[in-house]
Amino acid sequence: MRKSLPATGRSAAELLVELKARSAADTDWRGGRLPAYIFRGGADDVSDIGRQAYGFYFTENALGARRAFPSLVQMEKEIIEIGLDLFHAPDGAAGHLSTGGTESIIMAVKACRDWTRRRRGDAGHRGNLVMANTAHPAFSKAARLMDLEVRRTDTAADFRADPQAIAAATDDDTIMIVGSAPCFPRGVIDPIAELGALAERRGIWFHVDACVGGFLAPFARELGYPVPEFDFALPGVTSLSADLHKYGFTPKPASTVFFRDAERAAAAMFEIDEWPSGLYAVATIVGTRPGGAVAGAWATLHYLGAEGYRREARRLMTLRDRYIAGIEALPGFRVIGKPDLTLLSFACERADPRLVAQSLARRGWVANLTRDPPGLHLMLTIVHENACEDYLRDLASAAAEAAATPKGEASVSVTY
């Protein structure tokens, strides 16, 4: 039977009891049993300040901020200024707040397309985007929305983008080159300096996708970890996206996209004045945006400060090293490539990783998988700290069980 709206309302107490009951079957993310999706700072107070700020602006709509909520406008401005400073943007650089990494990437591609068309004097130019096959699917999503061509190249032996392959794939119609910092599948940062130099030589827009690592990499680098340069300090970088709601630990949905100059940032705007209600001007795909996400991001950034983010980075990188050491100590396991931050994939030589994932699922874990080469995947946050020993123990047991399972019996697929 199709569900219909109840004839009368139910009490809040009753609904909260049901919500708790419904969530009982969900994966225990607090126990570190999810390999992705959840990001939390090291202590509950970090989440609490974001939650409280979000609640304070729960009803406000950031779409109407310029006309009705100047406090949200000011908070957005300060968030963008913090990001521009963190990513070494030059004077005159600008940026926008978005609802997530995918939207930030789409808006960067939209800005690039429109800016390039104006410079070429060709409003119908189709153009192509060139990137390694490890670049996020959001670029393909953007290309499908805007009827652009995507060219994906094989990575080098270290699983990073191959500048020579990227160069060979570009032509006179290439409007954007993409680099990842880091890429999701392998957790490695592409050779951003080389790709930026290539883009500069050929006069092509270069976007750095730092959606995952943007608010972690600068602080890990300050702590002495060998994180390569990836931001506007490199002259070839034209635009950069970085999610606040990942390693910025802010409430969802919040991301940022930055541009080397205001002209390029303006190209991201939708300005539509074709209806009776007047000018509609936004720098996002969505119209309505939760004011709470803006306030939550602003409050979290100011609550942690640079010192707090360094503290979180130290803890996360230590955790990364702990997982890598534990995984590589297990028979038949090896980490794929050399992860720069807190994402890693690892191969299992004893059994099909899909069978290992199935066995882990029976032990209460959600397992992410990768292809080419096949492996398992982790995106580590602080919630994985207390789960480390249990995970390594169950991973070893799952591999042994999978090794004894006849080949061809895996029922799971590689799904993001």
Question: How confident is the model over 376-398, as pLDDT tens digits?
Answer: 999 999 999 999 999 999 999 99
Task: Lay out the sheet containing 128-132: strands in order across.
Answer: 94-98, 255-259, 239-243, 205-209, 174-180, 128-132, 149-153
> What span, in angstroms and rounded, lies between the C-alpha atoms of 316 and 305?
17
> What span, in angstroms and rounded, lies between the C-alpha atoms of 368 and 187?
13
373 in Cβ contact with 336 (< 8 Å)? yes
Residue 140 structure tokens: 């393909």
List the one residue out of 35, 209, 204 whose CA is nearest residue 134.
209
136 in Cβ contact with 106 (< 8 Å)? no
- pLDDT tens digits for range 140-192: 999 999 999 999 999 999 999 999 999 999 999 999 999 999 999 999 999 99
User: What's the CATH fold of domain 16-45+307-403?
Assistant: Aspartate Aminotransferase, domain 1 (3.90.1150)
Span 333-350, mean pLDDT?
96
Q: Where are the domains of the chain?
A: 16-45+307-403, 49-303
> What span, in angstroms and rounded, lies between the C-alpha atoms of 307 and 321?
21
pLDDT value of residue 32: 82
Domain spanning 49-303: which CATH class is it, in words? alpha beta
Residue 355 structure tokens: 């069978």
Amino acid at 324: I
Categorize the per-residue pLDDT at 99 as very low, low, confident or very high, splitting at 50, 70 and 90.
Answer: very high
Residue 390 structure tokens: 């249990």
> What span, in angstroms and rounded, lies between the C-alpha atoms of 156 and 86?
29
Amino acid at 115: W
Question: Residues with Cβ < 8 Å from 7, sequence gap 6 or more?
Answer: none
